[in-house]
Structure 1
Amino acid sequence: MTTILFIEQVLNGLQFGVMLFLMAAGLTLVFGVMGLINLAHGSLYMIGAFAAATVSAATGNFVLGLVAALAAAAMAGAVVEIAVIRRLYRRDHLDQVLATFALILIFSEGTRWVFGSFPLYLDIPEMLSGPVTLPGGIEYPVYRLFIIVMGLAVAALLFWLIARTRLGIQIRAGEADREMIAALGIDISKLYTVVFALGAALAGMAGALVGAIQSVEVGMGEPVLILAFVTIIIGGIGSIKGAFVGALLVGLIDTLGRTMLPLVFGSFMADASAATTVGSALASMLIYILMAGVLIARPQGLFGAAA
Structure 2
Amino acid sequence: MSLILLIEQVLNGLQFGIMLFLMAAGLTLIFGVMGLINLAHGSLYMIGAFCAAAVAAATGSFLLGLVAALAGAAIAGALVELVVIRRLYAKDHLDQVLATFALILIFSEGTRWIFGSFPLFLDVPEFLSGPVTLPGGIEYPLYRLTLIAVGLAVALGLWMLISRTRLGVQIRAGENDREMIAALGIDIARLYTIVFALGAALAGLAGALVGAIQSVQVGMGEPVLILAFVVIVIGGIGSIKGALVGAILVGLTDTLGGIFLPEILKLFLDPSTATSVGSSLASMAIYILMAAVLILRPAGLFGARA
**1:97-123 alpha-carbon deviations (Å, 9 max, x no partner):** 000000000000000000011000000
Distance 1:11 1:226 in 2: 22
Give the equivalent residue in structure 2 for 1:305. 304
Give the equivalent residue in structure 2 for 1:27. 27
Distance 2:165 2:227 in 1: 29
Shift of 1:264: 1.5
Shift of 1:268: 3.1
Shift of 1:260: 1.1
Query: SS of the counterpart of 2:38?
Result: coil
**1:12-49 alpha-carbon deviations (Å, 9 max, x no partner):** 01100110000000000001100000000000000000
Give the equivalent residue in structure 2 for 1:228. 228
Give the equivalent residue in structure 1 for 2:92. 92
Query: SS of the counterpart of 2:213?
Result: coil
Superposed, 1:189-268 pairs within 5 Å as 189-268=189-268
Shift of 1:79: 0.2
Shift of 1:295: 1.1
Give the equivalent residue in structure 1 for 2:155. 155
Unaligned runs of 5+ in 1: none
Q: Which moved further from structure 2: 261-270 or 285-294?
A: 261-270
Shift of 1:64: 0.2
Q: Please tell me the residue identity of whatever aligns with 1:296.
A: I
RMSD: 0.7
Distance 1:187 1:86 in 2: 14
Unaligned runs of 5+ in 2: none
Distance 1:306 1:230 in 2: 16
Q: Please tell me the residue identity of whatever aligns with 2:200.
A: A
**1:30-79 alpha-carbon deviations (Å, 9 max, x no partner):** 01100000000000000000000000011110000000000000000000
Query: SS of the counterpart of 2:36?
Result: coil
Give the equivalent residue in structure 2 for 1:275. 274
The percent identity for this pair of structures is: 80
Q: Please tell me the residue identity of whatever aligns with 2:283.
A: S
Give the equivalent residue in structure 1 for 2:290. 291
Q: Does 1:36 align with 2:39?
A: no
Query: SS of the counterpart of 2:118?
Result: coil
Q: Please tell me the residue identity of whatever aligns with 1:134.
A: L
Distance 1:186 1:115 in 2: 40
Shift of 1:159: 0.4
Query: SS of the counterpart of 2:86?
Result: helix
Q: Please tell me the residue identity of whatever aligns with 1:110.
A: G
Give the equivalent residue in structure 1 for 2:102. 102
Distance 1:267 1:153 in 2: 41
Which segments of structure 1 move beyond 6 Å, counting only runs of 4 or more?
none
Shift of 1:138: 0.3
Superposed, 1:144-183 pairs within 5 Å as 144-183=144-183
Shift of 1:282: 0.3
Query: SS of the counterpart of 1:139?
Result: strand
Kindly tell me the number of residue pairs found equivalent between the two proteins. Answer: 306
Distance 1:86 1:105 in 2: 19
Distance 1:18 1:63 in 2: 19
**1:166-206 alpha-carbon deviations (Å, 9 max, x no partner):** 00000000001001111111110000000000000000000
Distance 2:288 2:268 in 1: 24
